[in-house]
Amino acid sequence: MDNYRIAVFGLGHIGLPTAALFARAGFDVTGVDISTETVEKVNIGKSPVPEPGLDELVAEVVGKGKLRATVDGVSAAEESNVMVVVVPTPVNSDNTSDLSAVISATETISKGLKKGDLVIIESTVPPGACENVVLPILEKTGLRASGDFGLAYTPERALPNNTLHEMQNNARVIGGIDGKSAEMAAQLYGKVTRGEVIVVDDIITAEMVKLMENTYRDTNIALANELAVICESLGIDAIKAIEAANHHPRVNLHTPGPGVGGHCLSIDPYFIVEMAEKHGVPARLIRTAREVNESMPFHVLDIIRDALESAGRDLAGSRVGVLGVAYKGDVADARKTPTRPLVAALISEGAEVVVNDPHVDPVLIKKMGVEPVPLEEALESDCVVLMTDHSEYLEITPEMIVGGIFICTRPVLDPEKFREHGIIFRGVGRP
Ligand code: SAJ
């Protein structure tokens, strides 16, 4: 196996670190991406993905000639023994899965598929996608799985901003179309992670494990959000109540906030809902949890309107300074951010909206129909709303809240410190 050549399809947040770690483990790796800009950047040893340590690792393995990138996926497949698919799987507007990138990568791979090859899917997919979508495409070549080539599924589990560490230390779950495929994939990933390699019974189980993980977190966040909204109506500080409840040995309530963003928790539960409902099984809890989390930006809107009214102001005509577009603190990723629906609602209600985010590309912010402004300018608003828990915002003091109203949707600042200075301080779960 040590002389295996590996092709990694998709050089994004997960694909590029995966390719670079295989290269550092000694494999000759070809990274494949549809973006020429990404390919060119990688080939000069640069990472198009902002992730700690990734620039250095890419420079190292490209410098040693162990990693190269190309847009020519067919040649990459022809030259390689193992093909790993790590492309995005978003949802369509009706929240059904969009597997077009997986299908396109698989079709490319099938043009270079050979006897003895192993195809590994890492993209998050609905349960059954490997057997019902990927396998038929590969077998159109006339080659048969289990006899001629292998197929396995192993989900990525790494957290942005800690991706390289988690890829090398998290346990790995692997499922194969057969035992041999699972074993080959297990040996391969055993070379890049010190974590336990867990081989499950079959490929659909591995697909489901991934979805369960993110759905567990999304549903628990929804519970925390619902409890927070209820506590507000009862005049209870939910953040303090949750801190106390989490001292119970079997309780781990998550943290309420303005909603769940990113490309994972806000999408993956729908992959379970889709397949469950196709099998006539209602996914009430999972679907409701999504609805609760998707309602949170509008709950924040209610808090803003209420706080302004308590100061004798209308939302219409008020200047609202929004802090944070990224879906969570200290990342540059704004995919599925709760800030987007909030900003759209504020504008539709006649507020003047300015936005600050030191991490997110200003071009992205402009696409939301608002002006990106420096922090000082955003703080000079009638109402300031903290949406993302970036480290920079932890330095905010009462004196900086010029308009006297501060909505802090993340439990990162002490309400008393602001209220002592006459600031109207509200938050999710903070009455
Ligand atoms: N959030 C809350 N309350 C919480 C925790 C998170 O409101 O208590 C919000 C965050 O602010 C953010 C969203 O949820 O908007 C998701 O953030 P996250 O840090 O929970 O997760 P991601 O999306 O960055 O990464 C998740 C991780 N999954 C799990 O922890 C189960 C990561 O391990 C996965 O690899 C990743 O999804 C993925 O790619 O699937």
**What's the whole-model pTM score?**
0.96
Query: For 5-201, CATH number?
Result: 3.40.50.720
Q: What is the mean pLDDT of residues 149-160?
A: 96
Selecting among 210, 231, 336, 408, the annotated active-site residue is 210
221 lines ligand 1 (CB under 6 A): yes
For residue 215, give the amino acid letter.
Answer: T
Find the 265 Cα to ligand 1 centroid distance in Å: 6
Nearest ligand 1 atom to the CA of 214 is 31
From CA 328, how far away is CA 357, in angstroms rounded?
11
Neighbours of 390 (CB within 10 A): 24
Q: How many residues are listed for the chain in this entry?
A: 431
Q: Give the separation between CA 407 and CA 311, rounded to whole angstroms.
A: 13
Cβ contact 30:80 at 8 Å:
yes
Residue 231 annotated as catalytic: no
**CA-based nearest residue to 86, from 25, 6, 8, 172:** 8
Q: Is 408 a catalytic residue?
A: no
If phi over 0 gives left and psi between -120 and 50 gives alpha, with beta otherwise, what is residue 53?
left
- Span 225-426: which CATH code? 3.40.50.720
Q: pLDDT tens across 260-299, in order?
A: 999 999 999 999 999 999 999 999 999 999 999 999 999 9
| Percent above pLDDT 90 for the chain | 98
- The yes-or-no verdict on residue 2 having pLDDT over 80 is no
Q: What is the CA radius of gyration of the chain?
A: 24
Mean pLDDT of the chain: 97
Residue 335 has pLDDT above 80, yes or no: yes
DSSP H helical segments within 190-256, as ranges? 203-234, 238-245
Give DSSP secondary structure letters for 8-31: EE--STTHHHHHHHHHHTT-EEEE
H or E stretch at 84: strand 82-85
Span(s) in the chain for CATH 3.40.50.720: 5-201, 225-426
Q: If you measure from the C-alpha of residue 329 to the centroid of ligand 1, how many angstroms do you get, rounded to a whole number?
A: 11
Q: Span 343-365, mean pLDDT?
A: 97
Question: What is the pLDDT at residue 146?
Answer: 87
